[in-house]
Amino acid sequence: MRACKEIDLLAVNPIDRRKYHIESRISTTFKLREKATKKTNGDTHRDGLDYFKAEKFEHRAVLTKIKELFGDSSYNKVLVVHDTERPISSFIEKAFENFGIHILLMKDIIADLKEQVKVKGSRDDIMRLVELIAFEEREEWKESFKIIEQGVKDAKHRLPEDEHRELRKAARTLKRRGGAKAERETSTRIFLEKIKI
């Protein structure tokens, strides 16, 4: 009897011809860890890199199908998850070094999409949803910042001049950054660096 396995996504970049095998596990219950945990009945949770390597990326049936479609070409193994063990950036590095799997966090993918949305009124359902989320967040930020600006004005008479100057400076910095967008090393940036795009 032939083993039947599902592959979430095989993709080829039409520009540079890079190939990808992408799997996803968007569980909010379990963080991705190095070694899968066991259920009380002895079955394996799908929460470990060892599980994904053995069952999703390197299962014999999967490799046979990928070879049929990709030939002997090299390809990247990508796993999209909700969260990982901490610290995330070192976990992502270890996942690639020890398992050959690139880890992407769904929140980073969504954040990148929101930053790249330029089209208004997209007919693509997913891009339209991202556009609406991004628009709503920008509107909420504008309203929140109005409250911050009013608070800074109101504090003028209650704070010493040097403290009020620092408060105004902090508010200007916050406005320039557009809210709480922290500069951080995201899973998507790590991935793009690894594949050298």
Model pLDDT for residues 44-99, shown as the tens digit of each residue: 888 899 999 999 999 999 999 999 999 999 999 999 999 999 999 999 999 999 99
| Model confidence band, residue 184 (pLDDT cutoffs 50, 70, 90) | low
- The 3-state secondary structure of 129-148 reads HHHHHHHHHHHHHHHHHHHH
pLDDT at 177: 66
Question: Are 48 and 37 within 8 A, CB to CB?
Answer: yes
Residue 132 lies in a domain: yes
This prediction has a pTM of 0.75
| Measured distance CA(46)–CA(186) in Å, rounded | 23
Tell whether the model's pLDDT for residue 23 goes beyond 90: yes
Task: Please check whether residues 102 and 146 belong to one and the same domain.
Answer: no
Q: How many domains does the chain have?
A: 2
Angle at the Cα of 16 from the Cα atoms of 197 and 195, rounded to 5 degrees = 30
**Which string of b and e fits 142-154 if b means at least 16 CB within 10 Å?**
eeeeeeeeeebee
Task: Please check whether residues 98 and 13 belong to one and the same domain.
Answer: yes
Task: Please check whether residues 173 and 188 belong to one and the same domain.
Answer: no
pLDDT at 194: 84
The boundaries of the domain holding residue 68 are 9-107+183-194
